[in-house]
Amino acid sequence: MTTATRPLTVGLGQLVVSAEAGATIAAIGLGSCIGLVMHDDVAAVGGMVHIMLPESSGKTPPGKFADSAVPALVAELEALGAERSRLRVKMAGGAQMFSAGSGSSSVLNVGARNGIATRAAVQAAGLSLLAADTGGSNGRTVELTVGAGQVLVRSVGGQPEPL
């Protein structure tokens, strides 16, 4: 655990958890990626994963892919004392950052595919998604304040908004 004086940044495909009340965990500049946040108010632990792609096909690191990131984040939080039944789950990101013209395949919309896969993985883990700020064409930054369990999302050029 780290005593946070600045946000703990979650890089591409990374997973960060904390039990430090003063910690802030942030995924900065999410485009088509998903910032998935989980927090247990009772245990006062939280974490975030920066999901890049929908499916792992057995590849690593687990945080890079929706299907492996969700169970990995749950396991890390449970190791810090969280209980699955108390986890509050929120996500942001999944924008369509590149336009490929009319009639283009949805395969090119990685953001939408990431959102769908992340929702499915959350459901498969027996969890409920409480809030989401996904889609559109703007990048976002998502931030979790661990002690308070507060999640803020800021779109490019916008103000932070509670999620």
Catalytic residue chosen out of the listed positions 16, 17, 23, 33: 33
Rounded CA-CA distance 145/156 in Å is 20
Closest CA to 38 of 136, 158, 155, 130: 130
Annotated catalytic residue 123: no
Give 106's DSSP letter: G
Residue type, 156: V
Beta carbons of 115 and 34 less than 8 angstroms apart: yes
Closest CA to 93 of 46, 47, 54, 145: 54
The residues carrying an active-site annotation are 33
